[in-house]
Structure 1
Amino acid sequence: KRFDEYLSRLSALLWPDLIILGGGGSRSYEKFAAHLHVGVDIVPAQLRNEAGMIGAALAAAEAYPELLG
């Protein structure tokens, strides 16, 4: 219930077309998806719990290409 309220407030503030859940939220998405009533589409991140780590690695590779050889 609190997560639904949190996402609803975020949605009201930012007006997103889509919310993509990463981390633990994506891993457990099937368990609580039916309880979310935000008014905007919500989907789990395709990379699930690894999304943040992979995104950070890609950002580092772009910022410091000389480290990759």
Structure 2
Amino acid sequence: MTNISTKFGKKVREIRLKKDMSQADLAKILDVHVTYISGIERGLRNMSLKNIEKLAKSLEVSIEKLIK
């Protein structure tokens, strides 16, 4: 069974790639280091609710879409 962090990270990566964004592009928008984005996408890092909200806005999706 896949844990929620891994599922969340895969969804972030999927949406980011559909938007033709690099990890560096997303990191710049969120004002975080690219290794933070990498860790999220691999399910190794947890995001705060504040950063999840910023992430959803920068990817132009709802928070619900990121979590499903």
Higher RCO (CA 8 Å, separation ≥ 6 residues): 2
**What is the TM-score when the length of structure 2 is the normalising length?**
0.25
> Greater Rg, structure 1 or structure 2?
1
**What is the TM-score when the length of structure 1 is the normalising length?**
0.25
